[in-house]
Amino acid sequence: MQNEHVTVVYKWTAKPGKLEELASIYADVTDAMEKNEPGAESVHCYVSEKDGALYVRDEFKDAAALGFHLQTTAQNHFPQLLSIATPGPFFFFGEVPQELKDATEQMRLGAEFATHTSGFDR
């Protein structure tokens, strides 16, 4: 795995009447990531009442940190999330190794992958 930053942007669409519960679960996810995932650099969640959806942006130090997240926090919350919401699409930006791409396929996230081509940070 290359040591390169990975960003994941994704959507969960809540089942009717479940948006507040979805946001609450993600508060727990965010807390778990902050406490237990040193390679998770940031997490930001946004609620859209209009869409009945939660949008999330996760920033990981590298693909290894993303893999750790998928095997721990994500795996622990995934069944509960699936019971109240529909996942996807999920967009992965950065170098993501094939084994992690395969893992997202098994999770049926509607995943798309893109590598960095240009940009800057201030």
pLDDT digits (tens, 9 = 90+) for 82-117: 999 999 999 999 999 999 999 888 888 889 999 988
Residue type, 69: H
User: Is 85 a member of any domain?
Assistant: yes
Three-state SS letters, 37-52: CCCEEEEEEEEECCCC
Strands 111-114, 85-93: parallel, antiparallel or unpaired by DSSP? Answer: parallel
User: Is 77 a member of any domain?
Assistant: yes
User: Is 115 a member of any domain?
Assistant: no
Asked whether the predicted pLDDT for residue 23 surpasses 80, the reply is yes
User: Is 11 a member of any domain?
Assistant: yes
List, in order, residues 6 or more apart from 49 with CB less than 8 Å away: 19
pTM (predicted TM-score): 0.91
Q: Sheet of 85-93: strands edge to edge? A: 40-48, 53-60, 6-14, 85-93, 111-114
> What is residue 2's predicted lDDT score, i.e. its pLDDT?
46
Decide which of 28 and 106 is more confident: 28
What is the residue whose two structure tokens read 């996760």? Answer: 58
Asked whether the predicted pLDDT for residue 40 surpasses 50, the reply is yes
> What is residue 119's predicted lDDT score, i.e. its pLDDT?
86
pLDDT digits (tens, 9 = 90+) for 44-77: 999 999 999 999 999 999 999 999 999 999 999 9
Asked whether the predicted pLDDT for residue 24 surpasses 80, the reply is yes
User: Is 58 a member of any domain?
Assistant: yes
Range of the domain at 61: 6-96
Q: What is the CATH number of the domain that holds 47?
A: 3.30.70.100
> What is residue 94's predicted lDDT score, i.e. its pLDDT?
95
Q: What is the pLDDT of the chain when averaged over all its residues?
A: 94
Number of domains in the chain: 1
Q: How far apart are CA 94 and CA 106, in angstroms?
A: 20
> What is residue 1's predicted lDDT score, i.e. its pLDDT?
42
